[in-house]
Chains A and B, each alone.
Chain A
Amino acid sequence: MTSPDPKSTLSFFAVDEGTIRQVMAELTARGADAADLYFQHARSNSITMEDGIISRAASSVDQGVGLRVVVGDQTGYAFTEDLSLPAMLAAARTAASIAHGSKAAPPVALNPRGHRDYYRINRPWDGVGIADKLPLVERLDQLTRAQDKAIEKVTVSYADSDETVLIIDMHGNVFADGRPMTRLWAQVTARKGEETQSNSANVAARQGIDWYTEERLKFLAKEAALRTMVLFDARRPPAGEMPVVLAAGASGILLHEAIGHGMEADFNRKKTSIYADMLGKKVAPDFVTIVDNGTQDFERGALNVDDEGIECERTVLVEGGTLASYLHDGISARHYGVKPTGSGRRESFRHMPMPRMRSTYMENGPHSREEIIASVKQGIIAETFTNGQVQIGAGDFTFYIKNGWLIEDGKVTAPIKDINIIGNGPEALRNVTMVAADSKLDFGGWTCGKDGQSVPVSQGIPTTLVSKLVVGGVNV
């Protein structure tokens, strides 16, 4: 969708300059280093096809405004779904109660600000009817069922959403953003004799309906079926420490958990991250460069402006093996005296922003996938994942492998499934011994959770060898 202009977005929320000035004055009445209003209107739709029937559809409208006052590193926050002036003034008073100073100067005039657009789509989702969506869902169901005769059940889930966001800071800067998102899943259950296996695949992006080409649907159907059928032959690897080859793409989950969260500046400001005293230090071999980027066209993790109105950027976390920058929101940028990195994000108007990842990936290295696999005597390849987690301070992280492969004597020998991997962030980075030149972002939709807030993210990596991680498995 074309990004909306700030002025018309004000009228979309039925608020005018006078209202904004009054609410901002109330919000900053007891002082503020920063203050903002975050208006959001989100419309989402979903469709589910199960047992060959479009059995349900759902829609929701979520609208409100979040009001925030920041004094030093203290934050007062309140929100209301009622956009009437009295309701907003009441919420402003609640949020302002954290401050105990004298009145900060409210803006004299609003200053509409423009920005780049990384997700300009042809047909905005609010103009796409259900009649255009149903054939997609039916086609994916049909394609998936046709993949293998052992397939017994297919569930197709479709979702799209349209968000209109209006951010007004205490200096009167006004930012408007229109944020589309869509996602399509295929879930498969197959039976062979007495054995049942199930798995799924999905594609997601800040895209419009035209993105769902026949080719993309075929890819998704095939991927979901392959991931399921391979489970019938899959086993558990032996338990213990061994080399782990991260397949290009989704394995970027390792970066997200092992270093990404630890680089969010709030944890470092509070000295609770294992990376708190490591800026400028060598943490990985020279060929390792890790980036968090909000500016990739149509990516799930892309943002034109972050949720504080800061333009997104490409932030280098690790440059040639050296720890380069944290991910900052406004509070941490003021604390460290640096420019914010456009990483201040929130789940919705109900939540206060904090430093978050956008699209996290590693750049290409000097090796090849073939030589990486050939170098492993006994180990595994990690290929698809369901989830991961990290302990910020101790640095221990995990991710769960749904599909992977066993490597024996430099050769891929058998599929593996359902194992958890656990390691320590800085140790794992030091143990990155080879990186190939095939970096790519995963096509699936990832959602990152922190402090009870979920935000969409992307992740990617080239084929990478970590010489030692603890692999869940069986003791023989």
Chain B
Amino acid sequence: MSELVKKAQEAVEIARKAGADDAWASISRDRSVSHGYHEGKLEKVHESTSRGLGISIYVDGRYSSHSTTDLRDDRLASFIREAVALTRALQPDPFRKIPEPHLFEGRPTLALDRLDPALASVSADQRLAWCAELDARAHGDARVIAVESGVFSGESEGASASSNGFSGEWEGGYLGYSAAVTVREDADRRPEGSYYAISRHVRELPPTETIAAEALKRALDRLGSRKGPSAKMTMVVDAQAAVSLLSRLMGPASAAAIQQGRSFWAQKLGQRLVSERLTVVDDPLIPRGLASRHFDGEGISAKAMPILEAGVVKNLYVDTYYGRKLGMTPTTGSASNRVVTPGTKDLAGLLKDVGSGIYVTSWLGGNSDSTTGDFSLGLRGHLIEGGQIGAPVGEMNVTGNLPELFQHLVTLGSDVYPYSSLRSPSLVFEDVNFSGA
């Protein structure tokens, strides 16, 4: 048994001795390092080693959760005893119980490969060399006035233990780099473009060249940006921008949101919610996946589950508490890797088929209402003219309703965005409301 599991079990034991019926403790340790370059020079180094403990306490049908970074034995013990006393002052909640042990059964053993052993040996000199490469390549145009580049990484380990027999451990790591480029347009306007890559494994990162060149391209692409028209048009959303749009759609797909009356997914299980082109699977068991895991925060054993299959709602994110309130079987309360089934054409192919419309490369602000699905988002991108990427546009909004928008999803690309746990290709929507000039 690892030292961390032992420490989590000790915390559970302190809570039990203080009168808790049940307790669930998690403990974690992380180390992170980041280097930031500005205009060819090291600007900042940030390094940290961090640790913390979280504990959930169940007393006489009452519940509370607590966290601390002060792990000295005597302080921790008094912290937990105070937490138990505080819990007694709350009201009993008949739906609140520690997750049932049968949910822990069948834990997968597949190697998730979340921690690259090579990560620990990436030297400071190597990081600085990458920063310099990113900086040099991103300066590849006379109009560039500032470049910031950075290399960041982290490693973590953790363990959980419960009073009803759960124990588990995890580890993970990541390495990434980024570049942000500002170019001069006229006396005042200084458009910017940025790009980054992140991976669990050092060797899976693309060359720094790719990231810096993309950041520079994105900045230069903004030059001469104007408002597009206010009109109903076809919208092509690039794969990176599709990630946050899909997150807005999927966000309220939970028992918690539905039970609180704040979800447009209510009453939709088994029914068609969006276009039949859309299939999304929650898959926690992808080796090296950014959100891969063997069990979730409640100890529920991980397995792949379809959320949307050809536009029909197959499963929801159901945790034990809101599952009990709604009379639904728990699945998991939190998303892991969400994988969208891609189409067959690349971005150029999609644009060619579309002919004219707006190609969105990134969002700027905006929000959505999880109850009704109404949304409105600022955007930057390009006109699509003659099936090609045309003049840059900005200062525009797209406005509508999320389930309606996704009913108008007509095509998906083959170009899946790799640097997110939500893996989506480019998306094409028809009849979208744009506001501009």
Contacts and interface: CB of A to CB of B under 8 A. Distances in A.
Interface of A: 50-51, 53-64, 73-81, 94-95, 97-98, 129-131, 134, 152-153, 155, 189, 191, 196-198, 236, 239-241, 270-278, 350, 352, 386-389, 391-400, 402, 417-424, 426, 470-475
Nearest to B264: A196
Nearest to A424: B395
Given A198-B262, A274-B189, A426-B188, A471 B397 contact: yes
B261 A191 contact: yes
B64 A470 contact: no
B48 A350 contact: yes
A400 to B, nearest CB: 4
Is the contact region of chain A dominated by helix, strand, or loop, or is it mixed?
Answer: strand
B164 interface: no
A273 to B, nearest CB: 7
B64 A58 contact: yes
A229 B351 CA distance: 43
Contact of A94 (B47, B96, B192, B369): B47
Given A389-B365, A394-B222, 14 more contacts: A55-B93, A81-B69, A98-B42, A189-B371, A197-B371, A198-B371, A239-B434, A240-B435, A274-B190, A392-B192, A418-B368, A422-B378, A422-B397, A470-B397
A79 B48 contact: yes
A92 to B, nearest CB: 12
A399 B262 contact: no
B227 interface: yes
A418 B433 CA distance: 14
A392 to B, nearest CB: 7
B248 interface: no
A240 B437 contact: yes
Contacts of A387: 365, 367
Query: What 4 A-B pairs are tightest by C-beta distance, nearest first?
Result: A398-B365, A393-B190, A472-B397, A239-B435
A395 B182 CA distance: 12
Interface in B62-92: 63-70, 79, 82-83, 86-87, 89-92
25 contacts: A54-B90, A58-B64, A60-B67, A64-B69, A73-B43, A81-B51, A95-B47, A130-B86, A189-B261, A191-B261, A197-B371, A197-B372, A198-B370, A239-B230, A239-B433, A270-B148, A272-B192, A274-B188, A396-B378, A398-B364, A419-B399, A420-B365, A420-B376, A472-B377, A472-B435
A18 to B, nearest CB: 21
Contacts of A196: 261, 266, 371-372
B47 A78 contact: yes
A98 B45 contact: yes
B142 interface: no
B77 to A, nearest CB: 13
A94 B148 CA distance: 22
A422 B182 contact: no
Given A58-B64, A272-B192, A474 B371 contact: no
Given A387-B365, A422-B365, A236 B399 contact: yes
A385 to B, nearest CB: 9
A392 B96 CA distance: 46
Given A53-B93, A77-B44, A473 B261 contact: no
A370 to B, nearest CB: 28
B44 A76 contact: yes
B67 A393 contact: no
Interface string B8-49: 000000000000000000000000000000110111111111
Nearest to B436: A470
Contact of A420 (B67, B371, B399): B399
A276 B190 CA distance: 10
B89 A50 contact: no
Pick from A236, A352, A394, A421 the residue with the most CB of B within 10 Å: A394
B231 interface: yes
A271 B68 contact: no
A60 B266 CA distance: 34
Contact of B189 (A79, A153, A395, A473): A395
B42 A74 contact: yes
Interface in B387-401: 394-399
Contacts of A396: 364, 378, 380, 394-395
Contacts of A54: 90-91
Contacts of A64: 69
Contacts of B145: 271-272
A75 B44 contact: yes
A260 to B, nearest CB: 15
Nearest to A94: B47
Nearest to B124: A97
Contacts of A191: 261
A269 to B, nearest CB: 10
B419 interface: no
A393 B143 CA distance: 14
A53 B49 CA distance: 39
Contacts of B92: 53
Nearest to A130: B89
Contacts of B364: 389, 391, 396, 398, 422
A75 B43 contact: yes
A228 B93 CA distance: 27
Given A240-B436, A395-B189, A153 B67 contact: no
Contacts of A277: 187-188
A214 to B, nearest CB: 22
Contact of A393 (B69, B191, B266): B191
Contacts of B169: none
A239 to B, nearest CB: 4
A198 B437 contact: no
B190 A473 contact: no
From A130, A198, A472, name the one whose CB has the most chain B CB atoms within 10 angstroms. Answer: A472
B261 A420 contact: no
A32 to B, nearest CB: 14
A77 B47 contact: yes
A275 B397 CA distance: 24
Contacts of B192: 272, 391-394
A419 B435 CA distance: 11
B414 interface: no
B225 interface: yes
Nearest to B46: A77
Contacts of B148: 270
B398 to A, nearest CB: 7
B146 A352 contact: no
Contact of B367 (A53, A386, A394, A426): A386
Given A270-B146, A272-B190, A393-B191, A350 B65 contact: no
Nearest to B435: A239
Contact of B398 (A57, A399, A472): A472
A240 B68 contact: no
B372 to A, nearest CB: 7
